[in-house]
Amino acid sequence: MSQAQDVVGLGNAIVDVIAHAEDAFLAAEGMAKGAMTLIEAERAETLYARMGPGVESSGGSAANTMAGIAALGGRAAFIGKVKDDQLGAIFAHDIRAAGVAFRTRPARGGAPTARCLIFVTPDAQRTMNTYLGASVELGPEDVDEALIAAAQVTYLEGYLWDRPRAKDAFRKAARIAHEAGRKVALTLSDPFCVERHRAEFQELVRGPVDILFANEAEIRALWQVRDFDAALSATRGLVQIAALTRSEKGSVVLSNGKTESVPAEPVQRVVDTTGAGDLFAAGFLHGLTQGRPPAEAARIGAIAAAEVIAHVGARPERPLKALVAERLG
Amino acid sequence: MSQAQDVVGLGNAIVDVIAHAEDAFLAAEGMAKGAMTLIEAERAETLYARMGPGVESSGGSAANTMAGIAALGGRAAFIGKVKDDQLGAIFAHDIRAAGVAFRTRPARGGAPTARCLIFVTPDAQRTMNTYLGASVELGPEDVDEALIAAAQVTYLEGYLWDRPRAKDAFRKAARIAHEAGRKVALTLSDPFCVERHRAEFQELVRGPVDILFANEAEIRALWQVRDFDAALSATRGLVQIAALTRSEKGSVVLSNGKTESVPAEPVQRVVDTTGAGDLFAAGFLHGLTQGRPPAEAARIGAIAAAEVIAHVGARPERPLKALVAERLG
C-alpha cells in the first residue's frame, strides 16, 4: 500500500540536453525563439551535431512540476514513458531521487527515450526542440487507477495532446480523478501547442478542467485575443481556479469570482528560464494541496520559479521547502 | 590530411554524473573525500541508486584538458574509448562540439561507456567514484601514429596506468612522440593513483616524461615526503618542466634550473572544484605550445582553472580565449 499522493502528474518523460547558443544560431536554424518545437529523429540528429557541448538533465514539464512538489515537501507521483535505455535510466533515477513516485513500465523496444535539445540564448531565454521518442508510447494502460483516485489533484500537461495514445491516457486519468471526486489541473504548455489544439483545449477548459495554468502568450492564444485583460475575461468563470503567469510581471489568479495579482519573486540574475512555468505550477499546487488560499499558493509558485531560473536546468537545486519557509516568514 | 595538433591527449573517456551531497553521506559510504576511487559495475549501480538527482556532463581528465585547449584557441585531439551507446554518443558529441578532434573507434560490445559519480559537498570539494566501463578497452591499436608524431605535445593521464592495455597505449604514444622529436607530458592525476603506481610513476618521471603536472598531494605522494619543499627538491632536474599546483596558493613551476611561483586567480565563489587541475594543465600546455615562457603559461593555467571552479562541471562554459586576453592584457 502506498501513501496517497497530493498530486499525480502525467506528461512526457524527457531528458533535456542544454547548451548555450547565440540568437544568430536560432535564426539560421529557423527556430521560434522561446517556443517548444516538435522534431523527428533525423532532425534531432542533425541539430545535435550542430549544437555546442551540452549538459544533460532530466526534464519534462509535468515531471519537473512533480520534482518541485517533492522538493517543497509534498507527495507527488509521475506517470510517463521512457525506454529501457541509458537516458531512460537517468530519467527514472533523477525523478525517484527527487522523491517522486515513478512506476510507469519502460518501453522494451521502439524509439529511444525522449530528449529535448534546449538552446539558452544570452538573454537567458530557452528555445526547445523535442524529439518525443518513447514518450509517445504512453497510453491508457499506463494510467494507474488507484494512484489517481487517491490523489488530491491530477495534473495534465498540454503537450500530451500532441499524440493520440497519450491523449487517451490524459482523458482516462481525468475521468478517474473526477469519478473519485478529485480535481483535474491542466497546463496549456506552450503557445504553439495551443495553436495546434485550440478547439480541443477550449473544450477541456469549459469541461473537465478544474485548475488551469497558462502564461500570457498561451492564454491569449487560447482565446485568440491580443490583450491580456480580454484573455482574463474570457477565462473567468470557466474553471474553479486559473493561475496565469506573466514572467517578471508576476501572476494573476482567478478564483471564486476574485481576481488577484501576485508579484514575481526578485531574482539576482536570470540564467536560464527553462522550467519557470513548471516550478510555478509546483509551488501553486503544493500550496493548494496544503490548504493555502490561491493567492498564497501563487506566492509559493513565484518563489519556486525564481529558484529554477537562477541556474541552468529545469529542476530545483536548492531545498525549496526551506526557501519557502524563509520567504513566507 | 588533418592539420597538426598542438596537443594530443590520451585518457579515459568518461561521462560525469554530478550531484550535491553532504559530508555525512560521504562518511556513510566510506568515501575518501576529494579523491578518485575506482568502482566496479555493481557498486556503481548501488551508489547511483543512493545518489541525489544528477546532471550529466562529459568529463575525463585528459579530455577536459583537451576541451580547455580548444576553448583557448589551440588545436587539440583526444584518444580514448567509449562504447557505441547513448553516453558514448554524448561524450563524442561534446568533445567534438568543443572543437577537439576525436576519432577513436567506439567499442561495439562489452561494458558500457565509463561514468564517474561525482559528489560535490557544500565546501565545493568533489569526490569521484569512477566506473571505467568501456574506457579500459583503449589499447595500443587506438594510438594514431601520424596524429601523435605531428603534435607538439602528447599528454598522458596517470589514471591510464590503472589498466594494462591502456598502459600499453600510453607507452606506445610516448615512444612515437619521442621518435618524432616531440614532448611527452604526464599528469599524476590523483594521490591514490600515485600510491597504486609509485615505483612506475617515479620511473616515468626519471625517464620519458618531459613535462610533469601534479598537485601538492600527488607530488608529495610520489616522493613520500611530508613537505612540499622536499617534494620540489626531489623533482628538480628530473624533468624539463614541472608545473605543481597548490589550489588557492597558486602554482610552482620548475624549469631550466629556475623555480617560479605563480599566484592563483581570484574566484568570487568556488562552486565545484571538478576539473581545476585539468584546466590548469590546459592553460599551461596552451601557453607553452604558443611559445610562452613557463611562468606565463602557468598564469594562463590559473585563469582557466578559475573559470571551471566557478560553476558545476569540468569543462569551460565561458570563452576562455577572450578571458585570457582580457586578464593578461
pLDDT range class, residue B191, cuts 50, 70, 90: very high
ipTM of this predicted structure: 0.92
Name which of A22, A93, A118, A307 to mutate to probe chain B: the one with the most chain B Cβ atoms within 10 A of its Cβ: A93
Task: Report yes or no: B197 and B169 within 8 Å, Cβ to Cβ.
Answer: no
Q: What is the tens place of the pLDDT at every residue in A137-184?
A: 999 999 999 999 999 999 999 999 988 898 999 999 999 999 999 999
DSSP string, B256-305: TTEEEEEPPPP-S-----TTHHHHHHHHHHHHHHTT--HHHHHHHHHHHH
Q: Which residues of B touch A313 (CB under 8 A)?
A: 55
Report CA torsion sign: B124, B12, A90, B38: negative
B88: nearest Cα among B67, B109, B119, B70: B109
Say yes or no for a CB contact (<8 Å) between B53 and A94: yes
For chain B, say whether A114 makes contact (Cβ under 8 Å): no
Name which of A56, A274, A317 to mutate to probe chain B: the one with the most chain B Cβ atoms within 10 A of its Cβ: A56
Q: Which residues of A touch B19 (CB under 8 A)?
A: 97
Say yes or no for a CB contact (<8 Å) between B51 and A85: no
- Chain B's closest residue to A113, CA to CA, is B86
Q: What is the tens place of the pLDDT at every residue in A289-304?
A: 999 999 999 999 999 9
Q: What is the tens place of the pLDDT at every residue in A239-263?
A: 999 999 999 999 999 999 999 999 9
A160: nearest Cα among A119, A130, A180, A124: A130
For chain B, say whether A93 makes contact (Cβ under 8 Å): yes
Name residue, grid cell 576539473. B275
Mean pLDDT of B128-154: 96
Question: In this predicted structure, which of A298-302, B111-115, B257-261, B316-320 has the lowest mean pLDDT?
Answer: B316-320
How far off is chain A from B233, nearest CA to CA, in Å? 41
- Average pLDDT along chain B: 96
Give the nearest partner residue to B53 out of A51, A85, A97, using CB atoms: A97
Does the pLDDT at position B2 exceed 60? no
Domains, in order of start, for chain B: 7-11+61-106+137-328 (3.40.1190.20)
Q: What are phi and psi of B79, to 5 degrees?
A: -120, 120
Residue A2: what pLDDT? 57
Does the pLDDT at position A1 exceed 50? no
Give the nearest partner residue to A48 out of B48, B93, B112, using CB atoms: B93
The cell numbers describing B41, all together, are: 559495475
B103: nearest Cα among B63, B144, B154: B144
Mean pLDDT of B218-225: 98
Rounded CA gap, A180 and A163, in Å?
A: 26
For chain B, say whether A122 makes contact (Cβ under 8 Å): no
Report CA torsion sign: B29, B33, B34, B39: negative
Report CA torsion sign: B161, B166, B171, B176: negative
CA distances from A314 to A14, A200, A282 (A): 11, 28, 12
A183: nearest Cα among A241, A245, A257: A241
Task: Report yes or no: A304 and A292 within 8 Å, Cβ to Cβ.
Answer: no
Mean pLDDT of B196-214: 97
Note which residues in 163-192 of chain B have CB less than 8 A from chain A.
none
B101: nearest Cα among B78, B83, B82: B78
pTM over 0.90: yes
- Please report, as a single letter, which amino acid is at residue B261: S
β-strands B55-58, B14-20 pairing: antiparallel
Residue B3: what pLDDT? 72
How far off is chain B from A111, nearest CA to CA, in Å? 13
The cell numbers describing A115, all together, are: 530528449
Say yes or no for a CB contact (<8 Å) between B53 and A58: yes
Does the pLDDT at position B198 exceed 50? yes
Q: What is the tens place of the pLDDT at every residue in B232-241?
A: 999 999 999 9
Q: Which residues of B touch A52 (CB under 8 A)?
A: 97-98
Say yes or no for a CB contact (<8 Å) between B53 and A90: no
pLDDT range class, residue A312, cuts 50, 70, 90: confident
Say yes or no for a CB contact (<8 Å) between B57 and A52: no
Per the DSSP assignment, residues forming a β-bridge with B251 are B245, B262
- Please report, as a single letter, which amino acid is at residue A183: K
